[in-house]
Structure formats: structure tokens, C-alpha cells
Structure 1
Amino acid sequence: MKNFVNNFYKNQALFYKIFLFIVTTVLIVYLLPKGGKFKYEITKGKPWQYENLYAPFDFAILKSDAEIVKEKLQINTNHIPYYTVNKNMVELVRSKVPEQLGKTFTDSILKRKRGQLSGFIDKTLDNIYEYGVLLEGKPADANKLVYLKRGNEAFEVNYDKLLLQDEIRPYLNVQIDKSNLSSLKPELLEFFYNIIKPNVTYDSGFTQKELDSKLSSISYTRGSIERGTIIISKGEIVEGETLDILTSLKSEYESQVWSDSSYNWILFGYSILVCLALLMLLLFIRRNRRDIFDNNVKVSFIFFNILLMVFLTTLVVKFEAKYLYIVPLCILPLTLKAFFDSRLGLFAHVITVLILGFVVPNSYEYMFLQIIAGIVTILTVSELYKRANLFISVGQITFIYILVYFAFTIIQEGNIQDLNSEMFLTFILGGLATLFVQPLIYIYEKLFGLVSDMSLLELSDTNSKLLKELAEKAPGTFHHSLNVANLAEAAANEIGANAMLARVGALYHDIGKMENSTYFSENQTSSVNSHDELSPAESAEVIINHVIHGIEIARKNNLPDRVIDFIRTHHGTSLVYFFYMKEKEMNDKVSTLDFRYPGPIPFSKETAILMMCDSVEAASKSLKEPTTAKIDDFVERIINKQMDEAQFLNANITFKEIQLIKKILKQKLKNIFHLRVEYPE
């Protein structure tokens, strides 16, 4: 048991990676669609590249989306609305006739023309209420049919048979003028206005119910294919009816209800493929970026971003697949490039796109487009901390999306009339969503404790609190750090390293000298040397401790670990040579361990650059009457000594790159000392 605990403790980083690998695989497989995957790629307008395809089972031919939309539109257009007739309203109107006659007409008129009036009123009311009086307005098409419901019965009539309230006056005018009662027109109009009420209302509930019933009865298929029927022959162009049949077969195949056994096999297959994809990513990181592989937080960060993109894409596909390209997938390579490097960003992007191929429709088109967009992202986005660069790159990415979609449409349709304008809007929205990468990087920095070039840009400000304190307490060291920063930035640019990181590391590498600033020659302003009162061993201890003090100050001020690495490594395991030789004069048996920096040695190109630049800049102060030859020999001697001491063994820096750095340092020092080229006499 004890051995198991010890082994677990020793290998806990490895066990964590295995756990992370399994959890990520399970979550991705859970998000993937669980139906069978159609094994043929269907490309409209291209020849069928496979063998003759026969129907593996009976299936129906699905109608296209355009056909379904057309049918629904036709049903909506031809649907007859329902109106309800209130039979009681007519009886109520007629019951008010005697009373209203007495109120409207004088007794003398009623005595002379009661019978004539009653006959005209009855006939007119019969005509008005033959179909009914509408409460609502009628549509523009007066000849359209409607259903009138009287109780449980319904019959068709034209809209123009129904009267609106504002049509009653013209109708009454005509009827009164044609009768012998035109002299009583004002009284008759008043009479009818007081008794006529609408008795027909639009039955929206029943109308919608009937419409829904018709829409739900739409058949989504047209015809069927029997098992064994040949669907397409090898070399035949995929188009027209054949394309519809292939699409129907694919849909039927992927929507089949699988047995428990088949379902488990599908899960097993997905698990193998996802495991392989993630394993390739881990092996790539282990081989090319061992520092990232050994850092569980960074590995977790990479896996989290991949999982996030799979989740967002799956969510959008389940909601509405046509909005697929709104998901800003290029945020993934952008983010990984900001924190790590371009190669890792592109490799992780390709792995993610391969996994998403199981999720999205038209997987080949999607994968081609996203991989090209990812490559463009990696190639175009440089110095992400510059806002203009990000906007330009987002514009280029959006243009690539549109261009590739345009090309695929031409290939598939053979014309540009079928271009979908909504897709262009989707690409633009996806491009705008990519701009969210900047606040996202800030969030990631806080959550995962990582540092990006944008944070480095903030740290490079010499007006920051810590650098101002360094300038006040150790002005000579501050000036030295500025010179080293300029040299390191130039050297990093020359070999393609992270120039911003090298510059920031150089600015902060000597902050530990604030503790005992007068013990360092660049801060001594008088002839009094603080080391005169100390033994060589004590002096060496003070010098060496500036690294420890620097780490403590950096952690107190929350500097990122990537910057603290420069403080730890800028002297590597080199010897405090001056005081060592001074002690050796007094004691031949002196140990070098007491005069050697604790390390570690540089483990990146940037930290190696700082070691070279720091040593060269500091030692250059001792040059008297510098010449081109002296500077060349001086730089060669210092850096070669560091190489002989194996200070760059872990730095992943090549001999060629070191030679380029030497060249840059020689040029910069000649500029500093204002040397001209020495011409032969």
C-alpha cells in the first residue's frame, strides 16, 4: 500500500493527464450525434467515386426543404377561413322593429304607410342578414371563399356576399331609392342604423386549428425505393433526382433506431477516433513543447478550449445548422497562439476540426473551410496586442470564409444564382464574434494564471510601479535593464523568438538588486565600495542573493511565472568569478559551490537570449578604448564561455541561432560606442 501511494505521488502529473484525457474523451463522445455515420461523401455536381450503390433497405424519398416550404405556402394561401354566424342576433334585431318604428316615424305616417314600411323593412333585413354583417374588415380579394358556420353546419360563400358596417349605408341608399319610400329616406336610414348589428365574427381558433391540421398532414416524402434497387452507378454525376435519393438514404441511415448492441458499438467507434485525435495532440505537445506537456494547467487549458469549441458547435447544430459558421472557431488558434505558439495553435485547431467533422453537415466542405481559415489565422495574426492587427486579421478570415463558400457553391451548383445571402451574413457575424478573443484572453489569464503578449505589453511600461521603484532605488540597474531589454528584443527578433517576452524579462531580471543596491557597481556613485568591508565569500553571497530577492519581489508584486523564469535563470549556474578568484588567492582549497549561482540554467530561447545580453552589456562597461576588433573578440569570448559551461543545454537554441545573436550584439555594441568601420590603410 505504501509503495502504491509513493508511486502515485511520484507520478501524479501523469495520472492527472490520463484522467484529463479520459474525461475529455467521454464529454466529447457524449456531445457527438449517436446515429450511424453514412460512409459515403455526397458532393453535388461531382461524379460518384464509389462502386455502384444499391438500396440496402426500403426507404422513402424525402422532399427537399424548398418543396416543403412551397407546399406550406400553398396551403396558407388557399386555406379558407371560418366565420361564425350569430343566429340569435337576427331575432334580436327583428324584435326591436316595432319599438323602433314608433320612435322613428310619426303616427300619421304609420297610419298611412305602416304596411308598406313593414314590408320594405322585412325584405331589407332578409337581404342584409341572408349572409350576415361582418364585424371585421375583409381582405383585398373580395372573391375569396370563406366558411360560414351556423351551429354545426358550415357552407362556402364569397367574401363579397358579406356586408361590412360601413357598406350598409350605400346598400340602404340604393334599396330606398328603388322603393316608393324615397321621401322617407332620412327616417329609414335612422331606423336601420339603430337596429342593425353585426352578426358574423372571424373564428380565429377554429381557422388555425384547421390550418394546423392541414399543415401537419403534409407528406414529407414522395415515392419510395425498394431494397436492391440501383441508386447510382460509378462515374454518374450526383445531381437532380439521384441527389435527392442519396440524401434520403443518408438521412434514413443516420436516423435509424439502433439496438442496444449497435448503439454501444457506435459509442465504441467514436471513443476510439476521439482518443486517437486527442492522443496525437498530446504526443505532439510532448515532442515539441515539453515545457507545456509537463505543466498540467497548460494541458488542461488546451483541452478545455477544444471541448468548449465542440460544445458550442454541437449546440448550434442542434438548434439550427444553418447558423453553424457563427461559432468563431478561429478563436481557438488565436488563443493558443497568444499563450503558446503558432504550431501548437494550428495543430490543436486541425484536431478540433477533425472531431467536429462527426457533428456538422457537409463535413468535407466544413473541414476544408475551417482548416484554411485556421491557417490564415496563424499566418496573418501577429502581435495580437495591437488592436489594428486583430481587426485586419478578422477581415481576412471573413474574406476567406466567403471566398471558399463562393467556390464550393460554383462547384456544386454550376452558377452563382444559388448563392445564399444569409451565409454571407453568417460569416460576417462569425468574424465579429472572433473579436471576442481579446476579452476572452484576459479571462483565461485570470482563470488559468497564464500570460499573453497583451499582458506583457502592460508589463513593459517603464512607468509601472515596480520599474519606477527600481529606477529610484537602483538607477544604475534600471539603466542597465533598459539597455539589456533593447539588446534582447533585437536578438529575439533576429532568430524569431518572442521579442516582447524577452524585453519584459530583461526589464525585470535584476529587480532583486533593490535590496542592496550599493553592492552592485552600476549603482555606486562614489569611490567607496561596500564590498571593502566584506570577505569575498560574503560579497559573493550578496551578489548571488539578488536572484532570490528578485523572485521574492516578483511574487509579491504578482508578476507572471514566465517573467519570474528570467529572474531565476539569467545567471544560470555560472560562477561569481571576481570574488571566487579573490578568495582563491587567500585559500587554495576554496569550493566553487559557494561562489556559484543556484540556477536553473535557461530553458527557453528567450531566457538564453537574456543571459547572453545581460553578460555582454554588463561586461561592456569595462571596455577601454573599444574598437571593432575588440568588441567582436569580447562578445565571442563571453558567449563561448557560457557555451563551454553548458549554460544553453536545455534552452532549445541552435548553434546557428547563437551565431545570429552574436552578430546582433556586436552590431548593437558598435552603435552604442559609435564605432565606424575600420578601413585598411
Structure 2
Amino acid sequence: MRHIDLKANLTWHDVVIRVVLVLVTASVIVWFMPRETQQNFKIELGKPWRYADLTAPFDFPIYKSEATLKAQCDSVLRDYEPYYVKNMEMADVKVRDFVQEYNKLTSGGYKDYKSIIANRLHQFYDQGIVDTKEPAINGDDTLRTIRVVIGNTAKSVSLSSTLTPKQAYEKLMGDAMLQSHRDVLTELNLNDFIVPNLIYDKERSEASKQDLIASVPMASGVALSGQKLIDRGTIVDEQKLLLIESFQRESDRRNQSESRFTTTVLGELLYVLLLVTGFTIFLSIFRSDYFDNMRSVIMIYSLIVVFSIAASLMVGHNILHVFIIPFAMVPIFIRVFMDSRTAFMAHTALVLITACVLQHPLEFIAVQITAGLTAILSLRDLSSRSQLLWTAGAVTVASCLMVLALDLITVPSFRNLSFSDYNYLIICGLVLFCSYPLLYIMEKTFGYTSNITLIELSDMNKELLRRMSEVAPGTFQHSIQVSNLGAEIARKIGAKAQLVRTGALYHDIGKIQNPIYYTENQSGGINPHEQISDIESAQIIISHVTEGLKLAEKYNLPDVIKGFISTHHGQGKAKFFYVNYKNAHPDEEVDELLFTYPGPNPFTKEQAILMMADAVEAASRSLPDYTEQSIRSLVDRIIDSMVSDGYFRECPITFRDIQYSKTVLIEKLKTIYHTRISYPELKSNQ
């Protein structure tokens, strides 16, 4: 029997690796947690408020709705006056250019109109020519005035008192004094002399617009700290919606500072680290066999990390609802490969970690803990893959009932129930059906063997078992008897019954290679051992272990089954031939390794069970009579000999377990070898 001592099992190197694993696990989870502190409310106008009562933790402004704010901004922008700078030199430059161009004309009649046109151009530039290509003018039908800057002063000018280049040109061409000489005007190309002299000042204009917009208050009131914003079950109307959205907005604004970011990350890291460390301590104290196995530790932590990251990404990117994630898949996998307590503790740690990224976690925790417990209880005795389908259905129903219970506690009547969450839970149940194919992937990835795989391996139509039944029928029957005895012991002492049953069926498959050398397969009084030496006989008998491992490798049997093949004799001896040889050579020093099985000795409770059942079942066949006393004496002698020889020294089996094992073996053998009554013969009347 092995005393579980963590310090003896783990070196400092192993401890450091596990500490690093805990730190890395916590760091990765926190890295993916959403950094924005926006409240994760799903608000539906006209629907009941599904979360807990909401109270303002601080004073915050009640912001106006976007529609109201836009209407008020549009209203104040009616007074908006874009700024234009008046170019005072533009008139002189363009009139001079016109005179020079006009003087090139040779016709004296043309010269009569030079002063008229020059005068008209001065009038236009004094009035102001504004460019319609500028954004402040183009397409804005509401604009009535502009702000004209002359030097250091600015004054409001009616837009109708200014001209566009097109209006100035048409006005000049329509002048009554110039109508008789339109051909001269056309020849002069007057467009070259009519250009905007009111230049749009973008910087001042934008500043003026922003000042007007800033004059519109963003809030319509203030919510005070401690004020009740909304009660659970209250219908969300427009006023409540505005109040909650304002709270969300202000919360987000308050938490954007760098110091807040740092404290948030530190808090999240400490929170996750405490949970992961607590779970690790649980493993090290109560499940040291898993804690010693790095493969088990990595599998559990990988599941926690993957599902935590999935929840963080979904919340951070506001994708659907976190209820869609099948968190119950974690306890399902851990329960199948390990045990219920570890599954529940891992699931609880995962749920509490995930709750950190939710603003209202109580409903989530209640639903997910219920789902996890349902999954664990429904898989307490996994015997077929169809159970996984039933588990998915049971988890879905239990989750929906929990949501219904929480809703009924808070809503005033059935009419106020919201069924949106049930849709997500049903989708989650459908995703849980993926546990069926994923179970196989988990087995191959982490090297585990589920009960389902063990049951499949126990099928008598499997090639290896069928071959053993044909080639070595005696060994086959012996294996079946051992599997029944071992499974009964396992159930009695709380070991893995299906594992023992399957391991027992395959423990002697090496005898297929030389079946006639084993007494259970001999018939007709032929014993080939009579023709060879004790050493050769011992080597053949011992070889069934190595031959069995070769066959297990060839047929891809799981490592856990190979463990039964190699340990069912431990490092014991082929005693019959060993004793024979010593008796025949009393003065010779015997090389005991020639008669010793390669081992190792059992190192799991299930392997110890198989060793006891195998030895007792084989020896029971040689009893001269099957009385309770003879059976009890046989069982006590064989198992006590195993204990005294130290076969169970490295095995986590207790004296109490061994005593229960003896009791089961005695009762079962008494049933198998019970005395039958003699049937009377019918006497003849003659």
C-alpha cells in the first residue's frame, strides 16, 4: 500500500513547473478579458428589466437621446454664420486687367463702354462675390447670412446682398446700357474678370459651428448617487432606457483613465489567480494522483482557459449571449476521464472566473452550476455514447428551469416573462451534442481512455478476443471469470469497475502465442512441459506478458490496458517451476531472474484488484473440494502472501480495501462452485 506524500512524489522541478502553469493560466485568461468597462446590459424597449435592481453608484448626467440632441443642434445651427474674408485688392486687380484687355480693341465704338463696364465691376466687388463651391454655401438652403471679415472687424451680411460669379456675369450681360453691344462683351470673355473676393475661412467657420453645438447641453438632468434607476421586472420605457444608457455611457467614460485600467487588470489577475490557485491546492491535497500526472493537469487547465477565453471574446465583442457557450462540456469531459468531485471543482472555478467579465453574474452562476451538476449526475455511470445525448438534453432542461425560476421570483406575472434566454440555452444544448465526437479527440490528444472506449473494447467480437476464444478457450473463460470477479471488487471498494473488467479480458492475451503450454488450455492429458526443462518452461510462461504487450501494441490497445498486461503478475515468480527447479538442484545457486516476471508491480488500485482476482481464480481450479473453509483459506493465503511480498507497496490500496476484496472473492467463488443436488434416477417397474 502506498502512502500519498506530495513532497515525496514531486521534485522541486515539478513544483516549479506547476507554479508556472498556474501563473501562465491566470495570465492568459486575464489577457483576453475585455478591458472596456461598459455595462453588459441587453436592453429591450417595452420588455421587462431582467437584471437585478439597478442603483446609481455615483452622480451622473442624464444624457439626451440622439434624436433630441440632433434636433436641438439643428435648431441652433440656424443661427450659424460661416466666416468669409473680403479681399479688398481683388477689385482693382481685375478692373485693371479688364482695361488692359479692352484697350487692345481697335474699334472706337468699343471704347465708349470701357468706363461703364469698369464701373459695373467695381460695384460687383464692393457688393461682394462669394464662391458657391465652398461647403458653407453649396447645398445649404437654410443659410441666410454670412460673416464678412474686413481687416480686424467682422459684420453680418445678408447672403442675398452678395453675388455669385454666375449672378454677376448675368447681371452685367443684362445691363440695358450694354444690350446693343453684346457681341463686344462676348468677345471680351468677362468671366475672366469676375472671380470671388469673399474667401471662405474654414478655421473660423468650424470653430463658430462647434461653439454653437457646444452651447447645446448634452444632459437634461442629473441622477444622484443612491438613486434607484430601475427595478427587476419593470418595463423598460423610453425614460428608463435613457436613464440606463446614460449610466452606461458615464461608467465607460469614468473608467477610461490609465490608472483605472491598471487597477482593473491587477484586480482581475488577483481574482483569477486566487481561483486557479485554490483549485490547484484542491488537486494537490485531495486528488494527488491527478496532480502528479502532468497530462491530467494540462487537460484540466486547458479546458478552463479555452472556455474562459471564449466567454471573454464573446462579451468583449458583444456577440450573441454567453449562454450559448456549452460550459457543461468541461465537467462532462473531466467526469468521463477522472471523477465527479474534480469535475465539479473545475467547473465551479471556471464559472466563477467567467462571472468576472459579466456585470450581473448571479444568474449566470446559478444557471451554469445547475447545468454542471446535472451533467455530472447524469454521467455517474457512463456505459454508452447515447448517454452523452441524454446528458445534453438534461442539461438544457435543467438550465431552462433555473432561468424560469429566477424569472418567476422577480416578474409580477407570467405575461412579463421574457423567453429570449431560452433560445440561447436551446442552442447551447445543441452544441453540447458535439461532446460525442469531441470525446474521441480528447482521448487521443491527452491519452485518456473513456468508459465508452472500454465498453467497446469489451465486445467479444473484437478480433483479439475472438481469436483468444478460438485459439485459447480455457484462457478466454479464465479471463471472463477474472473480469467478473474484478469488476465486483471494484464496485465494492469504489474503484473503476469497467476499467478492471476490460483490463481483465486482455490481461492474458499473450497466451495466444503458445496456448498449449498453459494448463487451462490442455486437454487429453498432454503436457508439453514434461518434455522441457523447468527453466525453459518458466521462460515460456513468463513470456506471455511480453507477448501480450506486443499484441497490445499491434492492435493499438490503450496504455491503460497495457498496464494490466504488464502488472498482473508484478515482479512475482513462476513458482511452480521455480520450486521444482530448487528441489531438483538443492545444492545449486538459482538465478531467480530466470523465473521472475518483468513487472512492474501494480501501481493503481485497479491493477491490484486484477492481480488478486487473477491469482485466486486460477488457484481455485486446483481445489480438491469447494467448501467455504477451503475457499476462505485459499483466498487468505494467496492475498496475504501478495501483501507480505510487497506487491502492493507502490499501490494506493488500503488494508480495508484488501479485506473487502477478500470478502467479495470468497462470496463469489462460493456461488460459482456451489454444490449441486443429485437428481434421482427413475426406477423401472419391471
TM-score, normalising length: structure 2: 0.67
Provide the C-alpha distance between the structure 1 equivalents of 2:291 and 2:511, rounded to a whole number of angstroms: 34
Provide the C-alpha distance between the structure 1 equivalents of 2:389 and 2:569, rounded to a whole number of angstroms: 40
Q: 1:351 aligns with which of 344, 349, 352?
A: 349
Provide the C-alpha distance between the structure 2 equivalents of 1:554 and 1:535, rounded to a whole number of angstroms: 29
Change in CA separation of 1:447 and 1:268 when aligned onto 2, cut-off 3 Å:
same
Alignment of 1:118-137 (within 5 A): none
Which deviates more, 501-510 or 358-367?
A: 358-367
SS of alignment partner, residue 221 of structure 2: strand
How many residue pairs are counted as aligned between the two chains?
511
Asked if structure 1 preserves the Cα contact closer than 8 Å seen for 2:34 and 2:313, the reply is no
Q: 2:308 aligns with which of 307, 310, 326?
A: 310
Asked if structure 1 preserves the Cα contact closer than 8 Å seen for 2:232 and 2:411, the reply is no
Asked if structure 2 preserves the Cα contact closer than 8 Å seen for 1:445 and 1:451, the reply is yes
Give, as a single letter, the amino acid of the residue that structure 1 aligns with 2:491. Answer: N
Counterpart for residue 652 of structure 2:
652
Q: Deviations over 1:432-482 (max 9, x none)?
A: 221211111012223333221121122111111222232333222222111
Provide the C-alpha distance between the structure 1 equivalents of 2:575 and 2:53, rounded to a whole number of angstroms: 76
Asked if structure 1 preserves the Cα contact closer than 8 Å seen for 2:460 and 2:466, the reply is yes
Alignment of 1:151-300 (within 5 A): 223-225=221-223, 229-231=225-227, 252-253=250-251, 256-300=254-298
Provide the C-alpha distance between the structure 1 equivalents of 2:228 and 2:532, rounded to a whole number of angstroms: 93
Q: Does 1:390 align with 2:391?
A: no
Asked if structure 1 preserves the Cα contact closer than 8 Å seen for 2:50 and 2:407, the reply is no
CA drift of 1:406 comes to: 1.7
Provide the C-alpha distance between the structure 2 equivalents of 1:11 and 1:28, rounded to a whole number of angstroms: 26
Counterpart for residue 620 of structure 1:
620
Percent identity between matched residues is 36
Q: Does 1:477 align with 2:475?
A: yes
Asked if structure 1 preserves the Cα contact closer than 8 Å seen for 2:38 and 2:249, the reply is no
Asked if structure 2 preserves the Cα contact closer than 8 Å seen for 1:605 and 1:653, the reply is yes
Provide the C-alpha distance between the structure 2 equivalents of 1:602 and 1:477, rounded to a whole number of angstroms: 21
Asked if structure 1 preserves the Cα contact closer than 8 Å seen for 2:336 and 2:379, the reply is no
Give, as a single letter, the amino acid of the residue that structure 2 aligns with 1:673. Answer: Y
SS of alignment partner, residue 556 of structure 2: coil
Counterpart for residue 491 of structure 2:
493
SS of alignment partner, residue 625 of structure 1: coil
Alignment of 1:200-599 (within 5 A): 223-225=221-223, 229-231=225-227, 252-253=250-251, 256-320=254-318, 323-585=321-583, 586-587=585-586, 589-590=589-590, 592-599=592-599
Counterpart for residue 95 of structure 1:
none
Provide the C-alpha distance between the structure 1 equivalents of 2:594 and 2:240, rounded to a whole number of angstroms: 84
Q: Deviations over 1:315-367 (max 9, x none)?
A: 33234466221211111100111111111111111111111011224212211
Which deviates more, 434-443 or 312-321?
A: 312-321
Asked if structure 1 preserves the Cα contact closer than 8 Å seen for 2:233 and 2:416, the reply is no
Provide the C-alpha distance between the structure 2 equivalents of 1:669 and 1:338, rounded to a whole number of angstroms: 32
Asked if structure 2 preserves the Cα contact closer than 8 Å seen for 1:602 and 1:647, the reply is yes
Provide the C-alpha distance between the structure 2 equivalents of 1:640 and 1:456, rounded to a whole number of angstroms: 30
Give, as a single letter, the amino acid of the residue that structure 1 aligns with 2:422. Answer: F
Provide the C-alpha distance between the structure 2 equivalents of 1:519 and 1:578, rounded to a whole number of angstroms: 13
Provide the C-alpha distance between the structure 1 equivalents of 2:394 and 2:454, rounded to a whole number of angstroms: 26
Q: Does 1:21 align with 2:22?
A: yes
Provide the C-alpha distance between the structure 2 equivalents of 1:552 and 1:264, rounded to a whole number of angstroms: 59
Provide the C-alpha distance between the structure 1 equivalents of 2:656 and 2:220, rounded to a whole number of angstroms: 70
Provide the C-alpha distance between the structure 1 equivalents of 2:405 and 2:217, rounded to a whole number of angstroms: 34
Give, as a single letter, the amino acid of the residue that structure 2 aligns with 1:675. Answer: T
Q: Deviations over 1:14-51 (max 9, x none)?
A: 5554554343222211111224699xxxx989899xxx
Which deviates more, 557-566 or 381-390?
A: 381-390
Unaligned runs of 5+ in 2: 1-9, 40-48, 72-138, 143-215, 678-686
Aligned alpha-carbon RMSD (Å): 3.7
Asked if structure 1 preserves the Cα contact closer than 8 Å seen for 2:52 and 2:360, the reply is no
Change in CA separation of 1:252 and 1:674 when aligned onto 2, cut-off 3 Å:
farther
SS of alignment partner, residue 660 of structure 1: helix
Asked if structure 1 preserves the Cα contact closer than 8 Å seen for 2:486 and 2:501, the reply is yes
Change in CA separation of 1:365 and 1:596 when aligned onto 2, cut-off 3 Å:
same
Provide the C-alpha distance between the structure 1 equivalents of 2:337 and 2:366, rounded to a whole number of angstroms: 26
Q: Which structure: larger Rg?
A: 2
CA drift of 1:257 comes to: 4.2
Counterpart for residue 631 of structure 1:
631
Asked if structure 2 preserves the Cα contact closer than 8 Å seen for 1:498 and 1:606, the reply is yes
Provide the C-alpha distance between the structure 2 equivalents of 1:256 and 1:221, rounded to a whole number of angstroms: 16
SS of alignment partner, residue 650 of structure 2: coil
SS of alignment partner, residue 222 of structure 2: strand
Provide the C-alpha distance between the structure 2 equivalents of 1:623 and 1:44, rounded to a whole number of angstroms: 74
Asked if structure 2 preserves the Cα contact closer than 8 Å seen for 1:45 and 1:412, the reply is no
Q: Deviations over 1:217-257 (max 9, x none)?
A: x999763236xx55479xx9889799997996576445534
Give, as a single letter, the amino acid of the residue that structure 2 aligns with 1:287. Answer: I
Q: Deviations over 1:40-80 (max 9, x none)?
A: xxx989899xxxx9855x423479xxx99xx89xx9xxxxx
Asked if structure 1 preserves the Cα contact closer than 8 Å seen for 2:573 and 2:595, the reply is yes
Change in CA separation of 1:328 and 1:489 when aligned onto 2, cut-off 3 Å:
same
Q: Deviations over 1:113-134 (max 9, x none)?
A: xxxxxxxxxxxxxxxxxxxxxx
Counterpart for residue 122 of structure 1:
none
Q: Deviations over 1:286-339 (max 9, x none)?
A: 333333333333322222211221122223323446622121111110011111
Asked if structure 2 preserves the Cα contact closer than 8 Å seen for 1:62 and 1:248, the reply is yes
Give, as a single letter, the amino acid of the residue that structure 1 aligns with 2:399. Answer: Y
Unaligned runs of 5+ in 1: 1-8, 76-150, 155-217
Give, as a single letter, the amino acid of the residue that structure 1 aligns with 2:586. Answer: N
Give, as a single letter, the amino acid of the residue that structure 2 aligns with 1:284. Answer: F
Which deviates more, 236-245 or 424-433?
A: 236-245
Provide the C-alpha distance between the structure 2 equivalents of 1:220 and 1:503, rounded to a whole number of angstroms: 74
Change in CA separation of 1:379 and 1:418 when aligned onto 2, cut-off 3 Å:
same
Give, as a single letter, the amino acid of the residue that structure 2 aligns with 1:448. Answer: F
Asked if structure 2 preserves the Cα contact closer than 8 Å seen for 1:277 and 1:351, the reply is yes
Provide the C-alpha distance between the structure 2 equivalents of 1:650 and 1:61, rounded to a whole number of angstroms: 70
Give, as a single letter, the amino acid of the residue that structure 1 aligns with 2:35. Answer: K
Q: Deviations over 1:75-133 (max 9, x none)?
A: 9xxxxxxxxxxxxxxxxxxxxxxxxxxxxxxxxxxxxxxxxxxxxxxxxxxxxxxxxxx
TM-score, normalising length: structure 1: 0.67
